[in-house]
Homo-oligomer: A and B are copies of this chain.
Amino acid sequence: MSANNLSPIGHVILGMLSLGIRTGYDIKQSVDRSTRFFLAASYGQIYPELKKLEDAGLIRGEDDPQGGRQRRAYDLTAEGRAVLDGWLADTDVSTYELRDLALLKLFFSDAARPDQRAALARAAAERHERMLAALEEVEAWVGDVPDPGMRFEVLKFGLDCHRWYVQRFKQMEQDLKEDR
């Protein structure tokens, strides 16, 4: 039981259901406002995964149309809850994967002109300013939620992280402007 061969998306779904989010559509909305900053998910992953989890008995779905509009709402089963708890109790957090075109370009930018290098660092700083703005929108939006708990802790982590990136890329920009 609870052999953890579930994909990250599977765990996202279990987690979202544990927060009371019940449909594929709502899961996608929530992901786009929260986990996408550290784990994205598309409809093409979510809907097939919901079926898979139901087949595995980790979630239970029932048709729940709103008027004539079709809708399927899901709930965690006891097994699903156990799998989620087991996953959270496991401190294996080795997966940290980054794909960053700014660092890649900067890495190879000895071949570019000095002003181009500084422009890349500047563009990277602006990128994180935009991410910061997106997170600050979430922050304002979250103000209402009663006791956001760990979700809020992770949001604060994200805000601090992107603030660090902005400051560090700006520093790099200055450094690149100074020497030659």
Contacts and interface: CB of A to CB of B under 8 A. Distances in A.
Interface size class of A (residues with CB under 8 A): 35 or more
A46 interface: no
Interface of A: 8, 11-12, 15, 18-19, 34-35, 37-40, 84-85, 87-89, 91-112, 116-117, 119-120, 122-124, 127-128, 131, 149-151, 153-154, 157-158, 160-161, 164, 168, 172, 175-176
Given A100-B38, A175-B153, A120 B107 contact: no
Nearest to A154: B107
A105 B127 contact: no
12 contacts: A8-B99, A8-B104, A15-B104, A15-B107, A18-B111, A35-B107, A39-B103, A88-B109, A92-B123, A106-B153, A110-B150, A160-B168
Which of A11, A18, A96 has the most chain B CB atoms closer than 10 A to its own CB?
Answer: A96
Main secondary structure of the interface of A (DSSP, over half): helix
Nearest to A40: B97
A11 B104 contact: yes
A39 B95 contact: no
